[in-house]
Structure 1
Amino acid sequence: MEDQIRAEFRKNNFVLVEEEEIVQKCLTFCINYDLSPSDLVSSWDLYSINRQLELIVSDAHMDAFRQQLQIEQKQAIIEKEQGLHTYTDVTMEFNDEHEDGKEIVPTSPAGQNDVHLESFDATPIVNGSMHKSGKPLELVTPFGQRKDKFVVHSTLNSIPIVNDIKEEQGKENSDDDVIKRVQPSQRCSLEIISSQPAPGCRYMYDRIEDKFNCLEDRIMKYSKALVASQLYEEPVDPSVASQKSIFAVGMICCEEEGRLKEKPIMLQSSVEHSGGQRVRLDLQKLGQFSLFPGQVVGVEGHNPSGHYLIATKIVDYVPLPVSVDDNFRQTKRQAVDQDNQPADSSDIPSDLSLIIASGPFTTTDNLFFEPLSELLAYAQRKQPQLLVLLGPFIDSEHPEIKKGTLNRTYDELFRLEVLRRLQDYVEYMGSAARVILVPSVRDAHHDYVFPQPAFDINLADLNHQITCITNPGMFSANKVKVGCCSVDVLKQLSTDVVSRGIKNRMTTLTNHLLSQHSFYPLYPPAEDTPLDLSLAPEALRMSTLPDILIVPSDLTQFVKVLSLEGTNEGEEVKCICVNPGRLARGEGSGHFVQLNFHATPDSSSASVIRI
């Protein structure tokens, strides 16, 4: 097993510093936690990504890695034994160095100097059958017993978040709260840029021909874009032996089933250039690369024998136009509130305030949706112009839903627990407030397909305030383009990517989405992603570069400004990429993001907040 552990680490490009000590400890972990070497290395891969470590395994991280394995084992036991509940509110703090600047130390609300991790092993009894909060004991949960309600986890630039939170908590239920509230200063404009597939669409009818045509179309569009840039010549067949240097365009593929490995990596060219033939890639001459199955790239190199294309350069990015072309604007854009649109679009300010959160919206020990209620209470105080909520709302992975013991349908649960709260929120906030809902493939009450149609909520009186978009989807608010995708594509990419010489893996993973001009460039898809390429393949494509890209993931939450090469020489285009994390994690609290966009990403500010 020691040899297997060494082999698994090397297969995933990890370097062991103190090899013997690390292997011995990993062997102990495998025995104690009943893990195979491949499972152990997969857990280390996730651990290193969350802490933004390089591909070096050090003995100094083994104790913290053991704690993560213990947490994973505990969660697995809780999921297996539905009747077992351990009431512990666990929040993990990451002491990594962010590339955007120095480490940000979370701050506490006014009057409290320390951030505490509270353990609730038993429910305290106060005044007989009542808790000190005034709730009956059976309704008091570990989530409701938290002392620190909103704590800043990290920031981008500067934004005041935790001012007067103690005062907010004290006045949360005051009678004159409605009188003292301040409505958002101005209602934001809203246009839906992508609206496919339509609600009620038929799916599970995809054919091999549809998949082939979609992949072939991606390769051909990439080839034409590279040639149009006038930086590269017309691609040729990479499988033909040639002593001179050639340029080819194709898709990265696995030679066999399973995860992508550096040896061998295959390049599948287009039918037009090579009849769809595949050729092995030799990457030994490259000092830096990051590749995954389904990625379309340009390759410079030579193939002296006809069996291996020896790569000297990988081209994985084509400049994407910032503005939408006229045809796309006419066919795809849908004005949500035409009556309120200014006569001159230049009158719309390029400023936007958002609160962004992703499900699950309730903890695993109940279906009270307490995190959602507290998020809406926070939004009522901060008055954002736009509240963006991404599924899952009715999580099919929730223990109570898995058991099938509910006394109501999933749709009834969604309308009673989610829509009713959102209706109360917009009525309280007034006509200036807007809510965007993005579904998830984990939503038990919605279509299990990706790309996914929007919710059909049928709220005629609130359609101008609560807007449902597709997954993935893109919209424009106050001329700020926002792209959303609730599938955890970052985590899926992290398990399939093969890289060398990459310093910040999280930034690289996010850059792949922008460089491939796709919300989901991975192919074949992950097992739990019901990808249907015949439904609306154009829905997966980023036809324009968004100002804000929202990609919720189980990986570490972040807000980053990414820089990309523009269409003009020397031009630099920037995009704010946001992973808000999960609003609820197990029986504990999660994170969300508050973002203020001001004209450009560099002048914008954001905070990741622990609820």
Structure 2
Amino acid sequence: MVSLICDQKLRDELSDFYHTVADEVVDKLKDLCVIHDISEEAVCAELLAFVMKYDKKELTIDVVDDFQTDYLDKKAINEYKKSKTLAAKVNRTPKASTSKSAFNANQSFKALITEMSDKLGDNNRPTTQIEVVANDESITEDPEVIDVDSQEAADAPKTPEKSVDQTMEYMDVSAMTTPAVTTASDESINTSLKIDETINTNTLCYFGNSYSDHEWRNRSKTKYTVEPYDKSITLCETYKFMSLKITETNEILNDIIDEFSELLKEKLDIESWNQFSVPSPSESYYIGRVCYDCNQKHRLSADSLRFEGSRYLTNSESIDLDLSRLSSYSLFAGQVIACKAINESGKSLIVQEIIDLDKITQSPAVVPTFSQPLHLMVGVGPFNSHQSLDWEPLKKLMEKVKKYEPDFCILLGPFVDTMNEKLLTTDEPIDRYFNSQMRYISEELQDLKTEAIVIPSTRDLNVFNIMPTMAFNSYKSHKIHYFSNPCVLNISGVVIAMTSTDVLLHLSKEEISAGQNIERLSRLCKHIVNQRNFYPIFPPNPDVNVEFTKYDFLRLPVSPHLLILPSDLKEFVKNISRAVVINTGRLSKSKYTRIRVDPIDQKSFNGSLESYTNVEIIKMKD
């Protein structure tokens, strides 16, 4: 039972997404924590997932009411039904093995609320009222009786099978384990269901095979190499910035549209792209960048959509976009799209179809050739707590590295976080603080085969707040490899693309959509792969200073084998456009990721490592 719910902790959990949270919302969440016996962190995580899934714009008391009714209450019903079903299974005799027991969901839910109320007592009873509606199809079982054998089989968790479209989302393993059920006849009997004894109980999310703990230990003597995948898109030296003219930015943005136009013309056998100013009563092909009328709106919306062409193709013209005939779409400012549309007047494009850019995504030109599994571990900053100078999260990660000894430990910034108040006021020089971190990492890896890959962040105090971000140039060690942000690396044939910038969060604020059958996080990941760019948003988020003279170093020319996109959004592992995409979680919240890539079958390899990749996102114990 959650005995003490803290207002401030609830506000802190929601602070990354909402500047202010109404008192009535906090009070309601406190009630839900007590009623459903869950922590502040858990209720906020589930609430944010609910808000994103149903695209709620603001966090109001009505939204929290919907969250309670449509999610928490139904979840409580399902868990209660499972426990009752298991109790019936334990109590039955062999003679009654084929009998059926009646079950009424409404009565069970009332019993559940009664039990919770008894636990709370009269003095601590929450003000929230839960109403059970009779004959509600969403919570009533039909038929009236449930076969215990078939129900137990249906409830038993299964290890996910691998498929081409495998997308394992956030999975709380502990929540999937049914509570132990004891009976009056034998209190020692424990019939709790277990997911898979090989899965770590602290695993938040997994993808691929559920290897046992000892199988994650790296015993291979194979030496792997790391190098840039393509040196033409790898930032290797410092550069001048803040000297770009508007006309030069326009030229760079034009070139991106022209590049897409050539790729699509070749792939779809399109003879030419139509001019915006020339009316065309029949369907024709158009290409350009999605934008909005900044004189009327401060962000993208369905009624302010504009379509901007390149200077070479359309003389830099722009035109209104009419999406009224589309059943589904997903757009954001800066997105390059190609479409079939009708241009009746030369003033508006009536879009009939948006062409899927999956058609031009390419697999990497290299193939893994190793014969032993490749082990990786990923940790994302901040590497200390919010108001502390210690490295406790980093030290915990290094303990895991020494235990499992992966081939590479990938560390993404921030290392010297601009949001850490202690770092802003400390007398210690920032460079010395960072060098101490790197020296510690190097010393911890000294007797291991593990090497570190270090990626900076725009939030680091010891680099310029620009994107692309130059690699660190300070403490030198043969155990540490420094690369820029973003970067695309080749580790013995495995192509890994990564950025420390929270592009998923920025995209989630810009995207508008309708009629989509793909959940939101998958759409955001697909945008990055299909746009062939680590940061395709234009204009950029105010938190990111994009240097357009170095826009080539933001390119993502292929769909990589692994794409690491750390974000404050929910952790996940997904297979998107032949890339295994991972949001790793942050070390400041005691979360890290481990990856095992198994040797491939050279004869059946199709360019994707989805069938050979195994990922676990783990929360370390405090």
Give the corresponding residue for 2:613.
Answer: 604
Alignment of 1:427-446 (within 5 A): 427-429=446-448, 432-446=449-463
Question: Does the CA contact (< 8 Å) of 1:350 and 1:479 recur in 2?
Answer: no
Amino acid at match of 2:506: Q
Match of 2:229 in 1: 193
**SS, match of residue 548 in structure 2:** coil
Alignment of 1:52-71 (within 5 A): 53-55=53-55, 59-61=65-67
Query: 1:71-102: per-residue Cα shift (whole Å, max 9, x none)?
Result: xxxxxxxxxxxxxxxxxxxxxxxxxx998369
Partner amino acid, structure 1, of 2:458: V
**Which residue is equivalent to 2:473?**
456
Q: In 1, Cα distance between the equivalents of 2:573 and 2:463?
A: 29
Name the amino acid aligned to 1:234.
Answer: S
Structure 1 residue 253 corresponds to structure 2 residue 273: no
Shift of 1:405: 2.4
Q: Residue 296 of structure 1: CA displacement?
A: 0.3
Partner of 1:36: none
Decide whether aligned partners of structure 1 residues 212 and 45 sit closer, same or farther in structure 2, where only a CA change above 3 A counts.
farther
- 8 Å contact kept, 2:218–2:406: no
Question: Structure 2 length as normaliser, TM-score?
Answer: 0.67
Cα distance in structure 1, aligned partners of 2:425 and 2:170: 45
- What is the aligned partner in structure 2 of residue 293 from structure 1? 333
The question of whether the paired residues in 1 share the 8 Å contact of 2:502 and 2:566 is answered with yes
The count of aligned residue pairs is: 452
Q: Which residue of 2 aligns with 1:379?
A: 401
2:575 aligns with one of 535, 545, 561: 561
Q: Given the alignment of the two structures, is residue 467 of structure 1 paired with residue 473 of structure 2, yes or no?
A: no
Q: Contact 1:525/1:531 (CA < 8 Å) preserved in 2?
A: yes
What residue number does 1:211 align with? Answer: 249
Tell me how far apart the structure 1 counterparts of residues 337 and 173 of structure 2 sit (CA, whole Å).
Answer: 40
Aligned to 2:420: 398
Q: Which residue of structure 1 lines up, in the alignment, with residue 580 of structure 2?
A: 576
How far residue 237 of structure 1 moved from its aligned partner, in angstroms, is 0.9
Bigger mean CA deviation after superposition, 186-195 or 282-291: 186-195
Q: Is the 8 A contact 2:28 2:64 kept in 1?
A: no
| Residue identity opposite 1:445 in structure 2 | N
Give the letter for the 1:202 counterpart: K
- Matching residue's letter, 1:426: L
Alpha carbons 2:168, 2:206 under 8 Å: kept = no
Match of 2:592 in 1: 592
State the AA in 2 paired with 1:228. E
C-alpha displacement of 1:183: 6.1
2: CA distance between counterparts of 1:370 and 1:243? Answer: 65
Alignment partner, residue 361 of structure 2? 320
- The whole-number CA distance in structure 1 between the counterparts of 2:260 and 2:574 is 26
Could you report, residue by residue, the CA deviation over 1:469-518 in whole angstroms, capped at 9, with x for unpaired residues? 11110111120000011110000000000101124000000000001111
Q: Is contact 2:169-2:572 (8 Å) kept?
A: no
The alpha-carbon distance between structure 1 residues 352 and 346, as it changes in their structure 2 partners (threshold 3 A), is: closer
* AA partner of residue 413 (structure 1): Y
| Match for residue 532 of structure 1 among 547, 553, 558 | 547
Q: How does 1:504-519 map onto structure 2 within 5 Å?
A: 504-519=519-534
The answer to whether the aligner puts 1:158 opposite 2:218 as a matched pair is no
Give the letter for the 1:440 counterpart. Answer: S
In the TM superposition, 1:204-243 aligns within 5 A as: 204-243=242-281
SS of 1:511's equivalent in the other structure is: helix
CA deviation string 1:399-418 (max 9, x = no partner): 212xx3212111111111x2
Residue equivalent to 1:334: none
Contact 1:187 1:433 (C-alpha < 8 Å) held by counterparts: no
- Tell me how far 1:450 sits from its aligned partner: 0.6
**1:275 to 1:58, Cα distance in 2 relative to 1, 3 A:** same
Runs (5+) with no aligned partner, structure 2: 1-20, 30-43, 57-62, 73-159, 181-199, 601-608
Residue 538 of structure 2: aligned partner: 523
Q: Structure 1 197/164 Cα, relative in aligned 2: closer, same or farther at 3 Å?
A: closer
Any conservation in 2 of the 1:352–1:478 contact (CA below 8 Å)?
A: no
User: Contact 2:306–2:321 (CA<8 Å) still a contact in 1?
Assistant: yes
2:204/2:617 contact within 8 Å kept: yes
- Cα displacement (A) at 1:54: 3.3
Describe the shift of the 1:360–1:63 C-alpha distance in structure 2 as closer, same or farther (beyond 3 A): farther
Q: Residue 602 of structure 1: SS of its match in structure 2?
A: helix
Distance in 2 between the 1:26 and 1:223 partners? 48
The aligned counterpart of 1:125 is: none
CA–CA distance in 2 between the matches of 1:605 and 1:485?
21
CA distance in 1, matches of 2:315, 2:71: 48
- Tell me how far 1:190 sits from its aligned partner: 1.6
Once the 2 structures are TM-superposed, how far is the Cα of residue 581 of structure 1 from its aligned partner?
1.5
* Deviation for aligned residue 1:425: 2.2
Q: CA deviation at 1:320?
A: 2.3
Report the 3-state secondary structure (helix = DSSP H, G, I; strand = E; otherwise coil) of the residue aligned with 2:273: coil
Gaps of 5+ in 1: 1-24, 34-43, 67-96, 115-148, 166-180, 326-344, 565-573
Whether the 8 Å contact between 2:496 and 2:561 is mirrored in structure 1 is: yes
Please tell me whether Structure 1 or Structure 2 has the larger radius of gyration of its CA atoms: 2
Report the CA distance shift for 1:414/1:101 in structure 2 as closer, same or farther (over 3 A). Answer: closer
Query: What aligned pairs does 1:27-66 form with structure 2 within 5 A after superposition?
Result: 29=25, 48-49=48-49, 53-55=53-55, 59-61=65-67
The AA in structure 1 aligned to 2:434 is F
2:434 matched residue in structure 1? 414
Letter in 1 for 2:386: T
Task: Report if aligned partners of 1:320, 1:544 keep a CA contact under 8 Å in 2.
Answer: yes
Residues 559/350 of structure 1: CA separation in 2 closer, same or farther (3 Å cut): farther
Whether the 8 Å CA contact 2:430–2:462 is kept in 1: the answer is yes
Q: Sequence identity of aligned pairs in percent?
A: 23
The change in CA–CA distance for 1:182 and 1:299 in structure 2 (over 3 A counts) is closer
Cα displacement (A) at 1:208: 1.1
Q: Residues 270-302 of structure 1, C-alpha deviation per residue, up to 9 Å, x if partnerless?
A: 112211111111101111110001100001110
Of residues 209-218 and 481-490 in structure 1, the stretch that sits farther from structure 2 once superposed is 209-218
Shift of 1:58: 7.9
Q: Distance in 1 between matches of 2:70 and 2:442?
A: 44
Corresponding residue for 2:562? 548
TM-score by length of structure 1 reads: 0.68
In the aligned structure 2, how far is the partner of 1:540 from the partner of 1:372?
28
Q: CA deviation at 1:321?
A: 2.6
Alpha carbons of 1:154 and 1:368: their partners in 2 closer, same or farther (altered >3 Å)? same
Structure with greater contact order relative to length (CA < 8 Å, sep ≥ 6): 1
Q: Could you tell me how far apart the structure 2 residues matched to 1:55 and 1:537 are?
A: 31
- The structure-2 alpha-carbon separation of the partners of 1:383 and 1:454, relative to structure 1 and needing over 3 Å to count, comes to same
Q: CA deviation at 1:308?
A: 1.3
Alignment correspondent of 1:479: 493
Q: What one-letter code is carried by the residue in structure 2 that aligns with 1:415?
A: N
Task: Read off the aligned partner of 2:543 and give its amino acid letter.
Answer: D
Deviation at 1:64, TM superposition (A): 11
Distance 1:356 1:102, change over 3 A: closer
Give the deviation of 1:605 after TM superposition: 1.0
Contact kept, 8 Å, 1:559 with 1:578, in 2: the verdict is: yes
SS at match of 1:229: helix
CA distance 1:349–1:447, shift in 2 (3 Å): farther
Q: Partners in 2 of 1:32 and 1:105 — Cα distance?
A: 23
